[in-house]
A and B are shown apart, each in its own frame.
Chain A
């Protein structure tokens, strides 16, 4: 007896196809200004850059770091999935540099739209965005597997 495919099975199939795409688009990626030289980034390097320890690119130009607010969900995703840490730890690292005179804090932007705009306009800038929002104005720095 031939039965038509049940609706629930079709839905499951549909979502299992859609899910990887959906999660890829909402995942967070590291972005940089388009004019930035090609640099290979792994997690250790990103931690040095976003931790405001490494202040110059290999070319010698000063790094410009952009971040969202501490409690922004994309910031939290970035901290956890890319840097493998927590927003409170980043805040602690920045504060300890800023208030002991050995470093600047990253520039805080209010939204992902502003992040896109500022990184695309600023030479030597680095930031992060939801993958689906990383348009042609910026380049995506793919994380090297360590």
Chain B
């Protein structure tokens, strides 16, 4: 606990320094470039809890990260990032390595690049996964939870293995392909609850044969962006002694379609994610569930101000979109199986390093709330949340 307060002091100190100096640049030491980011949020919700005791007003959500990029030669690079993050019961404020990999460049020229990365690599997943912890790169304080669930962020952001990439300029655009074979990370407090419905005595272990691939097309330097992500993530369940469950496998197949259009003043972003999950083994008949999730966000910017409006829709099971069967079978509330979140918010970029954000969520449903945070079951179907944050990056 003491460690957490020290880190929080550091976050505040850093944010204050960002407010004091007009601009901060990357720190360059020889061929190594160092960047960092920090954010501190305040959350106030009525009824359900999110990222801490938000029903009483909470400062429990903060992020602090430092990364280094070392260009040893035009062919060889190393990159790594350490993150400290607290988000109520769904994250614990401990330091962890987000990514750490070596990259070998096969070729890099006017019209194409290609290379391979080995180590803990970032999962190529939609538009926002790669930099999901850097508040300044997110479209809002809270990522649209339908697609970017924060309960499983470690699982989502990176994996340990090998990744190849190819970039090619085509006509007035750029085509990029990334694919990886890597072992997923399974140390999220809420992962067992998400996968198995409860905290279990056994453990989930990611398997090496998991893969993920993404095809991205940027037209006219990002005026239009399209991406298609697909993969198969395999996770083993190893039961403990006296466990009620037997050994089993959780297979997760995400299919994600992303589209963005940007103009000088306005932009629109939409992503659609189908989660296909299969549980086999465990001592019960195989279960397969598909859930369709999407969000649509419109942005408008005037000078240093950015405003947005978003609709974000989460469905756990397409065959039971309103959770009625679930409620009848498991005697748990139907509204924990879906969520509809209307969000309006804004950002003020004080300078290129420092931003203030605020947003208001109006939610029906509790599908993306942490069960651990809410003592097993979120109590309220309709709830609202105010989020405010100050964030810094250099």
* A binding-site residues for B, Cβ under 8 Å: 44-45, 47-48, 51, 53-56, 58, 60-62, 69-71, 83-86, 88-89, 91-93, 95-96, 98-105, 107-108
For residue B188, CB closer than 8 A to chain A, the reply is no
B110 and A99 within 8 A (CB): no
Question: Which residue of A51, A83, A101 is within 8 Å of B81 (Cβ)?
Answer: A101
* Residues 205-244 of B contacting A (Cβ, < 8 Å): 220-223
A101 and B108 within 8 A (CB): no
Q: How far is the CB of A86 from chain B (nearest CB, A)?
A: 5
Question: Which residue of A44, A85, A104 is within 8 Å of B222 (Cβ)?
Answer: A85
Give complex CA distance A92, B347 in Å.
Answer: 15
Give complex CA distance A91, B35 in Å.
Answer: 14
A100 and B221 within 8 A (CB): no
With A100-B131, A104-B69 in contact, do A54 and B122 touch (Cβ < 8 Å)?
no
- Chain B residues lying within 8 Å of A86, measured Cβ to Cβ, are 262, 264
Give complex CA distance A141, B222 in Å.
Answer: 24
A-B interface contact total, Cβ < 8 Å: 102
B131 and A69 within 8 A (CB): no
Q: How far is the CB of A61 from chain B (nearest CB, A)?
A: 8
Nearest 10 Cβ contacts at the A-B interface: A101-B79, A100-B130, A99-B131, A70-B352, A99-B134, A104-B33, A56-B74, A85-B221, A95-B137, A47-B221
A98 and B169 within 8 A (CB): no
Give complex CA distance A48, B169 in Å.
Answer: 9
A69 and B74 within 8 A (CB): no
B221 and A98 within 8 A (CB): no
- Chain A residues lying within 8 Å of B71, measured Cβ to Cβ, are 55, 62, 104
Question: Which residue of A56, A62, A89, A101 is within 8 Å of B67 (Cβ)?
Answer: A101
B131 and A96 within 8 A (CB): yes
Contacts A/B (CB < 8 Å), 17 sampled: A51-B221, A54-B113, A55-B71, A56-B108, A58-B109, A60-B74, A86-B264, A89-B221, A89-B262, A93-B222, A95-B134, A95-B136, A96-B131, A99-B137, A101-B101, A104-B26, A104-B69
A89 and B69 within 8 A (CB): no
* Residues 117-169 of B contacting A (Cβ, < 8 Å): 122, 130-131, 133-134, 136-137, 167, 169
B67 and A54 within 8 A (CB): no
Please encode chain B, from 79 to 115, with 1 for each CB lying within 8 Å of some chain A CB and 0 for all others. 1110000000000000000010101010011110100
A45 and B110 within 8 A (CB): yes
Q: How far is the CB of B149 from chain A (nearest CB, A)?
A: 19
B109 and A98 within 8 A (CB): no
For residue B246, CB closer than 8 A to chain A, the reply is no
B222 and A48 within 8 A (CB): no
- Chain A residues lying within 8 Å of B174, measured Cβ to Cβ, are 48, 53
- Chain A residues lying within 8 Å of B105, measured Cβ to Cβ, are 55
For residue B37, CB closer than 8 A to chain A, the reply is yes
B221 and A83 within 8 A (CB): yes
Give complex CA distance A101, B97 in Å.
Answer: 12
Q: How far is the CB of B131 from chain A (nearest CB, A)?
A: 4
A48 and B136 within 8 A (CB): no
- Chain A residues lying within 8 Å of B25, measured Cβ to Cβ, are 107-108
Q: How far is the CB of A146 from chain B (nearest CB, A)?
A: 9
A62 and B103 within 8 A (CB): no
- Chain B residues lying within 8 Å of A99, measured Cβ to Cβ, are 35, 37, 67, 81, 130-131, 133-134, 137, 393
Q: How far is the CB of A6 from chain B (nearest CB, A)?
A: 41
Q: Could you list 16 further interchain pairs (A-B, Cβ under 8 angstroms) beyond the known A55-B108, A99-B130? A: A47-B221, A53-B174, A54-B109, A54-B113, A55-B74, A58-B110, A62-B71, A85-B221, A86-B262, A89-B262, A92-B137, A93-B222, A95-B393, A101-B80, A101-B122, A108-B25
